[in-house]
C-alpha cells in the first residue's frame, strides 16, 4: 500500500497543514508527487547530491530579494 517514507511524508504534511506552514506543505507535496509519479528513482539521487548547494542558492536569492 504505502511505503514507510510515504507514511512519514503524509504525517509531515498533516503537521504542516495544522501548523499552517506553507513552505513545508509545498515541499512535502512536491516530494510526494515525485515519488508517486515514479520519478523518485531518478530525481531523489540528484536531490541528494545537489541538495545542499541548491538550498544554499535558494536562501541566498531569497535574502537578496527580501523574500522570507
3 and 31 co-located in one domain = yes
1 and 33 co-located in one domain = yes
Domain ranges, residue 4: 1-37
Span 43-64, pLDDT tens digits: 778 777 776 676 666 666 666 7
**Rounded to 5°, angle at Cα 14 from 8 and 19:** 125
Q: What is the pTM of this model?
A: 0.62
48 and 16 co-located in one domain = no
Span 13-40, pLDDT tens digits: 999 999 998 888 888 898 888 888 888 7
Give alpha helix (H) positions in the chain.
4-19, 22-37, 40-64
Amino acid at each position: 500500500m504505502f511505503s514507510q517514507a510515504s507514511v512519514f511524508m503524509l504525517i509531515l504534511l498533516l503537521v504542516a497543514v495544522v501548523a499552517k506552514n506553507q513552505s513545508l506543505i509545498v515541499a512535502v507535496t512536491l516530494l510526494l508527487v515525485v515519488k508517486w509519479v515514479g520519478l523518485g528513482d531518478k530525481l531523489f539521487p540528484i536531490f541528494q547530491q545537489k541538495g545542499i548547494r541548491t538550498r544554499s542558492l535558494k536562501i541566498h536569492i531569497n535574502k537578496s530579494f527580501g523574500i522570507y
